[in-house]
Amino acid sequence: MAIVAQNTKFGTYGRPLLAWFIALLFFFPIFWLILTSFKTDADAVKPEFLFFFTPTLDNYLNMTENYNYWRFASNSVITSVFATAVALFVGIPAAYAMAFNPSRHTKDILMWMLSTKMLPAAAVLYPMTFLAKSIGLFDTHFVIIMVLALINLPIVVWMLFTYFKEIPKDIIEAGQMDGVNTWGEIKEILIPLAWGGIASTALLCFIFCWNEAYWTVRLTTTDAATLSKLIEGNRAPEGLFFGRLSAVSAAAVGPIVVLGWFCQKQLVQGLTFGAVK
């Protein structure tokens, strides 16, 4: 059947065209964002300058000089890297235990973990904010790292669990017979064998952390504020300055888009995990 489908006209021309159309459709907002970031605030809202305008770097210069872009960016890097590290540090042993020593409650635990993702974040906004403030952790890297790590932990555990499940149990048992302890099993056998899966999980977790806006905006003011906060901070009472806002947004999504581009293979593998054996 598949071979027949390949030979139809749709298979030859229609499908690639459709793919290009969808890709461009998805890429357009980013393209528009980048384009707008090189316009002045005045030009940005005028339809006649949609594609043809005099480009300027003012928005970017303004952003780095007046908005302290690099501090926000470094906060984003710090919180995302450490949150990913914490999530993996907890997630790898958890997924290992469930994949290789499952109990009859393992499925329930996995579902329960996933169910925490269904809780609306707003429901715990006040408790979280008060908690952070009362223990003096408001606007610190620590609280952001912990929150980011915890909200991504379910997906990290799920992904790792799926990857670990594909490792034959015999290999782990051979390790036990060969005299390794639990930590040795993880370090010597599990991590080297699941390296690809762990990398995709880490990458996806990093992207989620980087893009997270709800908590990073609400639990920080300046010291631990990330790029999400910088974008959010560009709302002014006088209205939106589209040129500046676009520059900030482009500079915020830029690193992650580039990272995603270079790691396409791992990401696709990560996002379709479990789809094909």
Residues at the contact surface with another protein, assessed by CB under 8 A: 104, 168, 170-171, 173-181, 184, 188-189, 192-193
The two tokens of residue 239 are 């209205």
Buried b / exposed e across 63-83, counting CB within 10 Å, b at 16+?
A: beeebebeebbebbeebbebb
Residue with smaller CB distance to another protein, 175 or 243: 175
Smallest distance from another protein to CB 230, Å: 42
Minimum separation from the CB atom of position 174 to another protein (A)? 4
Shortest Å distance, C-beta 188 to another protein: 8
Whether residue 40 contacts residue 34, with contact meaning beta carbons closer than 8 Å, is answered with: no
Nearer to another protein by Cβ, of 47 and 179: the residue is 179
Q: Which is nearer to another protein, 61 or 171 (CB)?
A: 171
State in angstroms the smallest separation of the CB of 180 from another protein: 5
Whichever of 9 and 277 has its CB closer to another protein, that residue is: 277
Q: To the nearest whole angstrom, how small is the minimum distance from the Cβ of residue 266 to another protein?
A: 18
Amino acid at 46: K
- C-alpha 53 chain-centroid distance: 34
Least separation in angstroms between CB 162 and another protein:
19
Would you say 123 or 177 has its CB closer to another protein?
177
The smaller minimum CB distance to another protein, of residues 30 and 186, is found at 186
User: Nearest distance from residue 195's CB to another protein, in Å?
Assistant: 8
189, 190, 194, 200 alpha-carbon torsion, rounded to 10°: -130
Nearer to another protein, 114 or 171 (CB): 171
